[in-house]
Amino acid sequence: MNKKTIRREFLSSAGAMFAGGSALTTAAVAASGQTPGTRGAGRADHGRLQEAGARQAKLVEVLRQPVLKKELFRSPVIIQSVELLRWQNSYLCRVRSADGGEGISVAHSGMDRLYPIFLQNLQPFFLGKDARELDLILDKVYVYDFNFRYNGISLGLPLATIEFAILDLLGRMAGRSLGKLIGEIHNPEVAVYVATEWRERPLEETVERIKKAVGEYDAKALKIKVGYLMFMTTDMHAKGPVGKTERLIPLLREIFGSDMALYADANGYYDVNEAIRVGKLLEENKYAYFEEPVMYDDFEAIKQVADALTLPIANGEQDHSYVNFRWLIANDGIEIVQPDSYYFGGLIRSVKVGRMAAAFGKSIVPHMSGGGLGFLYNSHLVSVLPNAGAHHEFKGLQTDVPFECKTSPLKVVGGKIKVPTGPGLGVDIDPEYIRKHRPVTA
């Protein structure tokens, strides 16, 4: 089975491709098709680079199209205040417009480290702006005060928190869900996969934990960790249970059978040769994709692995730049893009990545940050992606945020979650819970 056939199978649940994209106004990068510091040699390489350059140029045009449906709002929606609110370990963002509108978002748990960037680098820029220009605001805020120097989760996470609140405000004003503000609804229900960890645990314990996690939800898909990235310890010499991956991959296929969709994630643990070796084992056991087989920003290594396997390669959870995605898409380094709507700076920026992928027949499976209401933001994002993959990340429905949803039970039924259709985020957070929070000023 060749890579194109696998790609068609993976995209079988996806709808029509996007038409258009959004703007990359913060960086006018030449569409050379080259990785930094490399140049093609010889006629064949020159032809390949020319083709990749043309593909990149097409993606730049895709990025120039707006996402937010500005036409829904006849009059300016001036952002009067942007507040970061805190109660204990919980952070909320509250945005108010000059005409009395209000939107609320729930921050990622990482806000406890990043709130100075929210207050000093982002909050001042949004004040007085017309929320209808949100596409442009999200581009230009990277230029303001050289914010691009903080690129990555440090900037993306607080930026996403503000964007979510503005979209909640606009959605409530227009009587539309977040999805209907930034696209058309292609996926009113989102099929999920159970995301698991436990790479440091012995094989037998890991298998039992995976069985329990799958049994807790009515899911039809599972993602496991492969490799031994020992992020959970300060021990520089920690090895992990070496040999576990090679036993786990076939064992889970045997346990769950051919009807369970299986995915694997290495979090960048392997070098090229080892990634190819493990990738072939995944192919033999009919896993559906291999996520971050090598370090996420080693573009040439990613492409080497992709060229050696028929198994689709996924990447993007850690990426913070359109340029990264653009190069990997244009050079066929990946088949599946995976922006995280928190880490990458919001829903609008993530939709733009999805559009780039769609332009060349590739799919998007957004990474989902755990905690708060991350599963809701991710569900709204997936709902508008016609090239969404078959299953999407799910880390459970546990949250400390009390809310009511009138349009969805928010339960996994038949392996899917119904996306809320109410205005804004589609849920109402308990007002008493919000009142407990106080503005963060320093």
Predicted confidence (pLDDT) per residue in 288-331, tens digit: 999 999 999 999 999 999 999 999 999 999 999 999 999 999 99
Predicted confidence at residue 42, as pLDDT, reads 67
Same domain, 210 and 298: yes
Same domain, 89 and 189: no
Q: Looking at the 3D structure of the chain, how many domains does it have?
A: 2
Same domain, 186 and 147: no
CA dist list (Å): 172 to 33, 66, 89, 257: 43, 21, 27, 45
Q: Which amino acid is at 405?
A: C
Same domain, 125 and 167: yes
Determine contact, residues 111/154, Cβ cutoff 8 Å: no
For residue 194, the SS3 value is strand
Last residue of a domain, one of 130, 148, 172: 172
Return phi, psi of residue 54, to 5°: -65, -40
Same domain, 116 and 161: yes
Residue 121 scores a pLDDT above 90: yes
Q: Is 433 inside a domain boundary?
A: no
Contacts of 204 (CB under 8 A, 6+ apart): none
CATH code (residue 168): 3.30.390.10
| Token pair for 288 | 């559906």
Give per-residue pLDDT as tens, 58-78.
Answer: 999 999 999 999 999 999 999
By CB atoms closer than 10 A (0-12, 13-18, 19+), residue 349 is buried
Helix spans in 269-308 (H): 272-284, 299-308
Last residue of a domain, one of 127, 153, 172: 172
Same domain, 219 and 301: yes
| Rounded CA separation 193/310 (Å) | 22
Cross-strand bridge partners of residue 195: 223
Last residue of a domain, one of 138, 172, 206: 172
Same domain, 263 and 330: yes
Q: Is 214 inside a domain boundary?
A: yes
Cross-strand bridge partners of residue 90: 87
What residue numbers bound the domain in which 193 lies? Answer: 181-422
Q: Which amino acid is at 164?
A: F
Determine contact, residues 92/85, Cβ cutoff 8 Å: yes
Residues 111-140 have a mean pLDDT of 98
Q: Is 268 inside a domain boundary?
A: yes
Q: Is 383 inside a domain boundary?
A: yes
Same domain, 203 and 99: no
Predicted confidence at residue 35, as pLDDT, reads 54
| Rounded CA separation 330/332 (Å) | 6
Q: Is 54 inside a domain boundary?
A: no
Predicted confidence at residue 175, as pLDDT, reads 97
Q: Is 92 inside a domain boundary?
A: yes
Give per-residue pLDDT as tens, 148-157.
Answer: 999 999 999 9
Same domain, 242 and 302: yes
| Rounded CA separation 113/115 (Å) | 6
Residue 401 scores a pLDDT above 90: yes
- For 105: left if phi > 0, alpha if psi spans -120 to 50, otherwise beta; the answer is beta
Residue 134 scores a pLDDT above 80: yes
Q: Is 37 inside a domain boundary?
A: no
Same domain, 213 and 111: no
Q: How many CA atoms lie within 13 A of 15 on its CB side?
A: 14
Same domain, 143 and 285: no
Same domain, 247 and 360: yes
CATH code (residue 396): 3.20.20.120
Q: Is 442 inside a domain boundary?
A: no
Q: Which amino acid is at 110?
A: G
